[in-house]
Structure formats: C-alpha cells, structure tokens
Structure 1
Amino acid sequence: MVKLPDFLGGSGQDHFRPEFQVESPEGELHLRFYIPSHQEFALPATGIREVIELSPDRITPIPNASGLLLGTLNLRGRVIWVADLGQFLGEVTPLNTDKAEIPVIAIEEQDTIVGLAVEQIGGMDWLDVQHLIAPNNVPDAMAPFLRGEWLLDAQKNQCLRLLDQMAILRSARWAG
C-alpha cells in the first residue's frame, strides 16, 4: 500500500490543502551584480537575454572603437558589442580583463543586443520596485541610467541601484 504524502488530500487526488499553498514572491525577479568599484546594481530579469562567463580571448577587440567597448562577441551566431559597464556608467576603474572569465550580461530590446561586462554576478533576487527611492549621491554620468535604488544599510551607506536597460541601450554614449 502506498501512503499519501501530507500535502495531498484524503481522496488521493492531486490537490493542495490551503494551508500548504506556497506564497508568491513579492516584487519582480532581478539580477544583482557588481562593477569594479564594488558598487552593486540590479537589472530586471525580463530584459536579460543571457548571462555568460567567458574567457577574455572570446571577445574580439575592435580598433578605433570607443573606449567603453571591449570588443565583439559571437553569441549563438550573432555578433554583439561588449562594453565595460562600469566605464559606461562613468567609473574610472576599468574592468580587469586579465582574469580567467569575465561575466557578461546580454540585454536586449527588439533586435538590439548589447553585452555588459561586469566584475561579478551576485545572483537573482525578488525585489519590490515599490520600495525604490530616488538615487542619492550619484555621479552625473550615471544618473540618466538609474531608475532608483534600494537602501540596504543606512549606517554603511550601502544601496542597490536599479539600472534602466532601455536608457542604456538607447544611449548616445555608444556613438562616442
């Protein structure tokens, strides 16, 4: 005789008792990551096509291109630009490309895909955008690309900044 698990009803049919229903997470799913200056950022998972870690030799440098661009990458048969996100946001510290693997976040809008090279991936979290506050103490070069921030620790002045991927993809900064 097979014993029914506790979460199944007495009739043997697959249905959950109300007290065992899982609550849905609050907010939206976001990818958290760091740039070389150790600032933490997030992007909504809905606009991320892929997150890959790849050897720096898979990024082909392009002569006379903008200093923001590390080069191009073949992503499943499609050539995409890969940028140093920290430098794009106005950070002085460039991404260290002398390591075994570089995390790249491929963001997309319609037919446009750009790879954003970052220092480290922090993971995925459910974050509630209703708790965003206006960015505080933000460099002018970074401000147009922020939707807001979550205050993580007021005493240490730690925050998690939410990037606007559409503003990044549509930026005139790519032309420079």
Structure 2
Amino acid sequence: MVGNPDFLMGQSQEDLASEFQELETPEGELHLRFQVPSGRELALPATGIREVLDPPPDRITPMPNVSPLLLGTFNVRGRVIWVADLGQFLGDSVGLNTDRAEIFVIAVEDQDTILGLAVERIVKMQWLDVEKLQMPTDIPDGVAPFLRGEWVFEENERPVTLRLLDQVSILRSARWAA
C-alpha cells in the first residue's frame, strides 16, 4: 500500500510522471570558471583543482626576494602553499586588488606540488565539452604555453570567449623563479 503512488499523493502514476522533470546527463567535463582583474574569464578543469579558498589578505604572508608574481604564502591546514597573482602571471597589467575582505585562491595540484592562484572572482562551475575546444590564433606568446584552447559560445544573449588553462604548465613554469 505504501509503495502505491496513489497512496502517497492521491495522484495517478501518469500525473506523477508529468510532474517530475527528466534529468539531463551533463556533456563534457566539469570546469571552474573565474575572472582575473582585467575582466578576462578563464577556466580550469575541476579534476586539477585541489580546492577553492577565500582567505583574508592578512593571512597571506609576503615573502622577500621572490618573483613579483607571488603574493606570498598561506597556511592551509598545516601545509604552506605559495599564492600567485594569476592575472599578472598571464601578462595582465592590472594587479589583483588585495584591499578587500577576502581573496579567491584556486589551489591547483600536480603530484606533490600545490600552488594557489589568486583571482578576482569565481564565476561558477560548468560542464563544458572539451571536444569543442578551439585553438585561438590571437594569443600572446607569453600565454600560449599555458593555454589548452578556448570555447566560443553565447550565454545570456552575449558572445563569450572562455579560455581553458593548463594548470600543470602553470605549476611547472620557470616564471616563478624570477
């Protein structure tokens, strides 16, 4: 009797079936969309992200004699990670504003190396089809080694160009040594 849908809702099975939406199977892979200070929107594959943090700026300790791209270090549950300004790393002239309540940091990991990438804001998680990635022709030479491709699509009736970054290339870059 309890297993009978008429008992549960007083409705027939046909009525219940019409009320439930069919779930769509997501296409592609899950990615994190975010913005750097210049306003450019970028993405990273969710599989390469360890976590997203939002520490207050005073918890990031500046370090002397390191690359100007590095904002400092941050202690995450007993592990010290470096935090970098991703926009400036990619050649933006606009630096990250650290005069605010929190800074969004995307912790990326490869093997045993973790790096925090500071960004302006987190946009959303989104399923994106990697089969539809295109290689852009108008990218600066300084960005090319860190780019997997880009998607061009419409969202809310406006064109969007979303570039996919390669977190392993960013982690392994010689730019951090400067």
TM-score per shorter chain, which class?
0.7 to 0.9
Match of 1:167 in 2: 169
Match of 2:45 in 1: 44
| Equivalent pair of 1:33/1:118 in contact (CA under 8 Å) | yes
Match of 1:101, SS state, is coil
- What RMSD, in angstroms, separates the aligned Cα atoms of the two structures? 2.3
Q: How does 1:61-140 map to 2 (within 5 A)?
A: 61-140=62-141
| Equivalent pair of 2:106/2:117 in contact (CA under 8 Å) | yes
Match of 1:173, SS state, is helix
Equivalents in 2 of 1:91, 1:118: separation in Å? Answer: 12
| Equivalent pair of 2:30/2:45 in contact (CA under 8 Å) | yes
Match of 1:13 in 2: none
**Once the two structures are aligned, what percentage of the paired residues are identical?**
66
Q: How does 1:140-159 map to 2 (within 5 A)?
A: 140-153=141-154, 158-159=160-161
CA 1:20 to 1:157, structure 2 compared with 1: closer, same or farther past 3 Å?
Answer: closer
| Equivalent pair of 2:66/2:177 in contact (CA under 8 Å) | no
Equivalents in 2 of 1:98, 1:143: separation in Å? Answer: 30
- Higher helix fraction: Structure 1 or Structure 2? 2
Give the residue type in structure 2 aligned to 1:37: S
Which sections of structure 2, spanning at least 5 residues, go unmatched? 14-19
Residues 53-109 of structure 1 show CA distances to partners (whole Å, capped at 9, x for unaligned) of: 110001000011110000000011100000000011111110000011100000001
Give the residue type in structure 2 aligned to 1:170: R
Aligned residues: 165
Runs ≥4 residues deviating over 4 A: none
Which sections of structure 1, spanning at least 5 residues, go unmatched? 11-18
| Equivalent pair of 1:47/1:108 in contact (CA under 8 Å) | yes
